[in-house]
Amino acid sequence: LAEDALSRLKSIADKKEITLSVHGEHIVVSGYRKVLDGMLYNLCDNAIKYNIAGGNVAVRIDYKDYKPVVTVSDTGIGIPAEHRPHIFERFYRIDKSRSKEIGGTGLGLSIVKHGAMLHEITIDMNSKENTGTTFKLTFPRNSEALKG
Ligand code: ATP
Ligand code: MG
C-alpha cells in the first residue's frame, strides 16, 4: 500500500527532486484497504508538499511490541508548536504566507484521523521547524505478529 501510494505521487515528488523510499517489513493487517490507502496517501502527499526541494520522504514499516508501526518522515518545513493541536481538524491549514502557493483544502489529516479511529490506530507526531516531521501510526497488536 505504501509503495502504491508513493508511486501515485512520484511525478509531484520528481518536480521538487524529492527522494521517496519505503523500508522495513511486509506486514499483513486487517482493515479497509481504501481507508488505509487514503491515510497513507494523505500523509505522503503532505510529506512531499511541505518538503524542501531535494528533500526526502521515507515510509518505514516495522513491529514495535508486536504492534505494526508505520512512520512517514519528511525533511520539510515542520509544523510550528502552536498549530500542532489543530492540524487534524477539518479545513485547518497553517497560515497562508508559508503555503500560499501550495494547494489544499485542509482535509487530508482529518481523513487520516478518521481512518485511525476506525482501525484503532494511535497517531503520534513529531516535528521540528525547518527540519522535518514524522507521523507514526501504531496499529493494534495483530495475530500475524505473534506467529513470528
Ligand atoms: P489537503 O490535504 O486537503 O490537500 P492540506 O494539506 O492543507 O490540504 P492537511 O493535510 O489536513 O491539509 O494538513 C493540514 C495542515 O497541516 C497543512 O495545511 C500544513 O500546513 C500542515 N501539515 C500537514 N502535514 C505537514 C507536514 N508533513 N509538514 C509540515 N506541515 C504539515
Ligand atoms: Mg494534505
Instruction: Walk along the chain (148 residues) in steps of 10 and give the mean pLDDT of each run.
Output: 98 98 95 98 97 98 96 97 95 75 89 98 98 98 71
d(CA 49, CA 54): 12
Q: Which ligand is nearest to the CA of 94?
A: 1
- Residue 104 Cβ inside 6 Å of ligand 1? The answer reads yes
The sheet carrying 19-24 orders its strands as 19-24, 56-64, 67-74, 132-138, 122-128
d(CA 69, CA 129): 24
Determine if the pTM surpasses 0.90: yes
- Residue 50 Cβ inside 6 Å of ligand 1? The answer reads yes
Instruction: Give residue 15's pLDDT.
Output: 97
* Cα of 143 from ligand 1 centre, angstroms: 33
- Residue 133 Cβ inside 6 Å of ligand 1? The answer reads yes
